[in-house]
């Protein structure tokens, strides 16, 4: 909560400084224009005073001075408007960059808080399980349950570390791919079966077209599908089904994962694929996560020249669709 208050305070401070500076610059611009216009008027007055009343060219000289004064006024206006436009354009760019940087900083802080929590939980459970095995006499069934639970938590740690490492490699373009012909139907079916074993109470509805082959990196595709399944599981009630579809149509192969959860607000749909981004705040949200899952889904999709889109699963929930080119 303190971290969130700090970020809000920092944002308010940046806003205050920005508007003070902007107000000062606009005031300075107005003062500059008024000063130049006053100087222009004084020059014209001096020129008027230098003309003799009996001068035969009095009318022409007066007109010339008035025309010169008008030209100067227009020049000041054009220069001022151009300067003000460029200044405001730069100010808007700087302001948006600052807001983006603050938002990214906030996401990184949320990410660190989430990672800390994600690391501490399996470590604490693993430590407790091992201490229990060492200190207590347990029957084989209890030992098996504790060992299986410990393995499950180590798999969580391994998946978290892999996600962080992969995100870094994809960002820097240093991921060494092993592109090959893969049976996407087989991969989807195996991951769905594995998911069903882990969450026996969760209903899965599948429509998988057989023998769908694509050029892909098998490990990345597995991570992509697992992340979509985990995301659907986290943000929907376990009593509702998850639908997985693999279809081919015209010039594309579509992989779709549907849930009947809380859904994603329209204004959040472009943000959820940003690195570290999570809906809500780390101090208030109840679901676990690091903000890397959907980001990796987007990066992996792009890695395979595929597109990922999110839509509403009326009346409730979300639909994630990945379209692979044929």
Query: Would strands 307-312 and 213-216 be described as parallel, antiparallel, or unpaired?
Result: unpaired
Task: Give the confidence band of 287 by pLDDT, cuts at 50, 70, 90.
Answer: low
Q: How large is the average pLDDT for residues 308-316?
A: 88
**Residue 82 and residue 196: Cα distance in Å, rounded?**
64
- pLDDT tens readout for residues 46-82: 777 777 777 677 777 778 877 877 888 888 788 878 8
Task: Give the confidence band of 308 by pLDDT, cuts at 50, 70, 90.
Answer: very high
More confident: 54 or 218: 218
What residues are paired with 207 via a beta bridge?
245
- pLDDT tens readout for residues 220-261: 899 899 889 988 998 888 899 999 999 998 789 999 999 998
Q: What is the pLDDT of residue 115?
A: 65
What residues are paired with 324 via a beta bridge?
253
Query: For residue 148, what are the CA distances in angstroms to 152, 220, 230, 249, 296?
Result: 6, 26, 20, 42, 28
Q: Average per-residue pLDDT in the chain?
A: 81
H or E stretch at 70: helix 58-135
Q: Which of 131-135, 172-176, 248-252, 254-258 ranks highest by mean pLDDT?
A: 254-258
- pLDDT tens readout for residues 25-45: 888 888 888 888 888 788 778
Q: What is the pLDDT of residue 305?
A: 92
pLDDT of 277 above 80: no
Q: Which of 133-137, 225-229, 272-276 has the lowest mean pLDDT?
A: 272-276
List all residues 6 or more positions away from 35 whose beta carbon is below 8 Å from its beta carbon.
none
H or E stretch at 311: strand 307-312
Q: What is the pLDDT of residue 107?
A: 62
List all residues 6 or more positions away from 133 whose beta carbon is below 8 Å from its beta carbon.
143, 146, 147
**Residue 33 and residue 78: Cα distance in Å, rounded?**
11
Q: What is the largest CA-CA distance in the chain?
A: 124
Q: What is the pLDDT of residue 9?
A: 67
- pLDDT tens readout for residues 136-158: 888 888 888 888 888 878 877 78
Percent of the chain surpassing pLDDT 70: 87
Omega cis (within 30) before 315: yes
**Helix 140-172 vs helix 218-234: crossing angle, to nearest 10:** 110
Task: Give the confidence band of 280 by pLDDT, cuts at 50, 70, 90.
Answer: low
Distance of CA 40 to the CA centre of its chain: 52
Q: How large is the average pLDDT for residues 254-272?
A: 87
- pLDDT tens readout for residues 185-211: 999 999 999 989 888 889 999 999 999
């Amino acid at each position: 909560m303190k971290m969130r208050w700090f970020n809000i305070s920092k944002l308010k401070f940046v806003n205050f400084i920005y508007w003070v500076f902007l107000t000062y610059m606009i005031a300075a611009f107005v003062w500059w224009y008024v000063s130049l216009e006053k100087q222009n008027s004084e020059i014209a007055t001096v020129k008027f005073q230098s003309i003799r009343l009996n001068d035969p060219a009095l009318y022409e000289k007066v007109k010339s001075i008035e025309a010169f004064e008008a030209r100067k006024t227009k020049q000041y206006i054009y220069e001022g408007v151009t300067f003000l436009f460029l200044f405001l354009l730069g100010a808007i760019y700087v302001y948006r960059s600052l807001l983006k940087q603050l938002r990214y900083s906030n996401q990184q802080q949320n990410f660190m808080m989430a990672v800390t929590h994600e690391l501490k939980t399996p470590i604490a459970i693993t430590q407790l399980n091992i201490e229990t095995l060492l200190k207590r006499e347990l029957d084989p069934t209890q030992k098996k349950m504790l060992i299986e639970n410990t393995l499950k938590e180590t798999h969580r740690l391994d998946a978290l570390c892999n996600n962080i490492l992969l995100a870094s490699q994809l960002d820097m373009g240093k991921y060494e791919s092993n592109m090959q012909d893969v049976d996407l139907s087989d991969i989807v079916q195996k991951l769905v079966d594995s998911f069903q074993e882990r969450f026996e109470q969760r209903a899965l509805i599948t429509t998988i077209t057989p023998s769908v082959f694509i050029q892909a990196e098998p490990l990345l595709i597995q991570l992509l599908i697992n992340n979509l399944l985990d995301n659907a599981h986290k943000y929907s009630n376990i009593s509702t089904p998850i639908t997985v579809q693999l279809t081919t149509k015209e010039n594309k192969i579509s992989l779709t994962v549907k849930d009947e959860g809380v859904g994603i607000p329209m204004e959040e749909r472009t943000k959820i694929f940003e690195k570290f981004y999570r809906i809500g705040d780390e101090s208030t949200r109840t679901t676990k996560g690091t903000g890397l899952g959907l980001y990796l889904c987007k990066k992996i999709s792009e890695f395979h020249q595929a597109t990922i889109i999110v839509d509403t699963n009326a009346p409730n929930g979300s639909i994630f669709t990945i379209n692979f080119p044929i």
